[in-house]
Amino acid sequence: MLTRKQHELLRYIHHHLSDQGVSPSFEEMKEALDLKSKSGVHRLISALEERGFIRRLANRARALEVLKMPDTAGAKADNVSAFPTPPKTMPIAANDIIELPLHGKIAAGTPIEALQGTESLAVPAALLGPGEHYALEVAGDSMVEEGILDGDYALIRKTDTARDGEIVVALIDNAEATLKTFRREGSMIRLDPANRHYDPQRYRPEQVVVQGKLSGLLRRY
């Protein structure tokens, strides 16, 4: 049997993937299920993974895949059907490579200059969803609790809008850029780190321009 919270989380992840093309963050899942801590989310995800409903994709931030869904709410684990995912277009071959523009470094700490440089980065097409993308090298450790480490390559889908809880590239004062979780706080924009040693950054809306949302992560060993 799935517990009520396990079923709620599975449905929420499925809906978020269908709507946004990326799995929700731990903070989003915590708020959606009205849990007190992210450790509760971790336990639910581990239980769903053990039961074969989801799996975590290696080397990617916020990367969960729904493998199957219960036939009905509260259905037994042995009474499930494979979740149908008919592609709208032909699937991308797993070995297809796309050259993304590599626009220098993006700070996952104190904001630094970004969106510069003319190099390119070879990326497996399977890591990317729809839309136009570019890559940035992560500098700093303020997003480590989202699995984003110093030296990783953030794969960014171009967009100028964001919802609360999404990880974005935010251009500040038209000069510096940073990778943070986007939130609205009253009349201000708050950019949250994912490291307890860093404080949120608050700006007036006119100071912040969203230049993309995190779509995937590439790590080299």
List the catalytic residues.
Answer: 142, 180
Provide DSSP, the chain.
Answer: ---HHHHHHHHHHHHHHHHHSSPPPHHHHHHHTT-S-HHHHHHHHHHHHHTTSEEEPTT-TT-EEE-EEESSTT--TTSEEEPP---SSPPPPTT-EEEEEEEEEEESSS-B--S---EEEEEEGGG--SS-EEEEEEESSTTGGGT--TT-EEEEE--S---TT-EEEEEETTTEEEEEEEEEETTEEEEE-SSTTS--EEE-GGGEEEEEEEEEEE---
Helix axes 38-50, 4-20, angle to 10 degrees: 90
Looking at the DSSP bridge assignments, the partners of residue 56 are 64
Q: How far apart are CA 145 and CA 169, in angstroms?
A: 17
